Chains A and B, each alone.
Chain A
Amino acid sequence: MHARLTLISIAFLLAFLALIARLFFWQIIQGRVLSAQARDQYQQGATLLAPRGSILASDGSWLAARVEGWLVFAEAPKLKQDISEIADKLAPFFVEDSSDQQSVVAEAGRLKEALGRKATVWIPLKHKVSGEVKKNIEALKIEGIGFEHEERRYYPEASAAAQILGFVGKNEEGEDQGYFGLEGYYDLVLSGKPGFLSREKDATGLPIILGSEREISAIEGVELVTNIDKRVQLTLEKKLLEGMEKYGASSASAIVMEPSTGSILAMSSFPSYDPAKYSQFGDSYFKNPVVSDSFEPGSVFKVIVMASALDQGVVEPDTKCDICQGPLKVDKYFIETWNKEYRPDSTMVDVIVYSDNVGMAYVAQRLGADSLYDYLDKFGIGKLTGIDLQGEASSALRQKGSWNIVDLATAGFGQGVAVTPIQLITAVSAIANDGILVKPQVVGSLKGPGWEEDIRPEAGHRVISKEASDEMTAMMVEAAKGGEAKWTHLRGFKVAGKTGTAQIPIAGHYDAEKTIASFVGFAPADEPKFVMLVTMKEPQSSPWASETAAPLWYSIAKDLFPYFGIQPEN
């Protein structure tokens, strides 16, 4: 009897243990899976998309905008038609030019391969198609083909300002992310923050009002109101492309800036790309040479060195150069003028007007290496300007105290130093702005629903005195009127300008034929409304800036004068 009771007790104990073990399995080990399955039956969750902010021109028109896009997908079990037939029907909608049979056939092949994948239930076919394409596909009534809402970027001016804008690509998680230019620099504020909605649903999928609900609202991306003037931008783009083709340059860049505020009114570079089709271009197109590429500026740099010397008081406009009668020997090198013509007793005005290298070596020597370094540093040479574009780079200046006599002399005429176009125009803007250097800025304000915040930088800092800037401006006016580019000068307009033809350094020496031609200037000289820099790499029609960059500068300026209300003096 006792044994039977013991056996029954053991049996009960074992059964109890088995029950505990089973409960442990379902409650602890499988608990999360089961509760997730249960939750799926009565709860629905959805991500609330945060629309990406638009990028606007200064007049409020769009440079980049969000528009509706659709992901076209296929649900394999629901497909009733033949895969090849579906692919052939869809392919013409997914190519850029449906009359191009070659690309249609290639696209159809890609779709067949995608649809034919075994063990795949949900197949994404094409991302970011337009609403019109969606409607056309819907009209075909292909069973098993569906659409999912996406957002796509639209650039109404196509490739215009591409390198300022950047583009929106995908990150490692497959989410939209801005790269390069404004899209890259302001990605965080443009993106916003997606929200989430979770609530209970009934058997038919309808929401239960009294059920639990949790909503985290999406935060919309902020809009960028840039300083870009669309008309100036489009004029610049058109003229720059024409100029590049006319003079046979391998690349060209131009910037238009308001000197008093540092606002970038327009910026363009060629070769360029279409941000909407960025995947069709190589990486080299995405970099903005205006902020990323350094070059030896050549004679345009003379205005910065001369302005520094005038401010330091080591030279006056009528100071005579007493070493300008012939080539200057510095260490083992000879410094010559660009045309081998020498003018004894040239004044500083003559040195700038005739772009005299020997005269500028004289100025640099009067200034001294440490002083020159300090001035270049104040002008922002050798350091980032802080412009709000992704990818800004800068070559550092040679360290203070390590400049030898050759470095000093050659820096006087823009050799042995490297600048980016944005550094150069910012420095020249300081001369145009009574000696005050202002940070260049593309975006003027941030705008959200019901608010707008001005983010323009505060007043700049003084680099040189007003007197020195006035004297330098007067010299540049003379250079524009009487320098080697005088033939292209627009009569009656008070333009301050300077040409620069720089040799390209390669493997320890300068290329004998290839040059970078530049022209920097501002107008009207007394009260400048814009500063513009034009640079062209390796122009083929002539190596000289006076025959390439300068006429292009005036050609653009001629269109800008009426727009800015600039009239001839007389």
Chain B
Amino acid sequence: MKHKKEIQTAKPRSKKGIFWWLTLALFVVSVVVFTIETATSGARLAKLEKQERALVQENSELSALLVESSSLTSLETKSSEMGFGIPQKIIYIGSEEGFAKLP
């Protein structure tokens, strides 16, 4: 009679136990996944920051090149080396002295 009673009460305990075990397992898995995710996110962030730094540096180098190339002083030096010069004499033409003017 006593044994029968134990069997009768074992059924609901088993369900509850499974539920708790599942919850615990889910919790453990969540913790592990979350920890891994957090750790990899940090690494991903560090990688992205490294890429950002590299891009900023590249941008900075290109900007420096642009600034250097836009120098009028060096452009003037180069142009005079290539044989260009400023006009020595400027001739102003009166508006009435038009070209292809009819008599």
Q: Which residues of A contact B (CB under 8 A)?
A: 61-62, 65, 67-68, 131, 154, 156-158, 160, 202, 206-210, 230-231, 234, 492, 559, 562, 567-568, 570
Contact = CB atoms under 8 A, between A and B. Distances in A.
A208 B42 CA distance: 5
Given A157-B72, A206-B43, A207-B46, 19 more contacts: A61-B70, A61-B72, A62-B67, A65-B64, A131-B60, A131-B64, A154-B64, A154-B67, A157-B71, A160-B73, A207-B42, A207-B45, A208-B42, A209-B42, A209-B45, A210-B38, A234-B76, A559-B86, A562-B90
A259 B70 CA distance: 29
Contacts of A570: 94
Chain B contact-residue range equals 20 to 34
Contacts of B45: 206-207, 209
A156 B73 contact: yes
A63 to B, nearest CB: 10
A492 B94 CA distance: 12
Given A206-B43, A207-B42, A157 B64 contact: no
Interface of B: 38-39, 41-43, 45-46, 57, 60-61, 63-64, 67-68, 70-74, 76, 86, 90, 92, 94
A130 B28 CA distance: 53
A158 B74 CA distance: 10
A559 B86 CA distance: 9
Given A67-B63, A154-B64, A202 B39 contact: yes
Contacts of B94: 570
Contacts of B72: 61, 157, 230-231, 234
Nearest to B90: A562
B70 A202 contact: no
Contacts of A62: 67, 70
A156 to B, nearest CB: 4
A209 B39 CA distance: 8
A230 B61 CA distance: 24
Contacts of A207: 42, 45-46
A277 B42 CA distance: 44
Nearest to A205: B46
A207 B43 CA distance: 7
A67 B38 contact: no
Contacts of B90: 562
B41 A156 contact: no
Taking each of B86, B92, B94, which has the highest tally of chain A beta carbons within 10 Å of its own beta carbon?
A: B92
A479 to B, nearest CB: 24
B42 A156 contact: no
A97 to B, nearest CB: 18
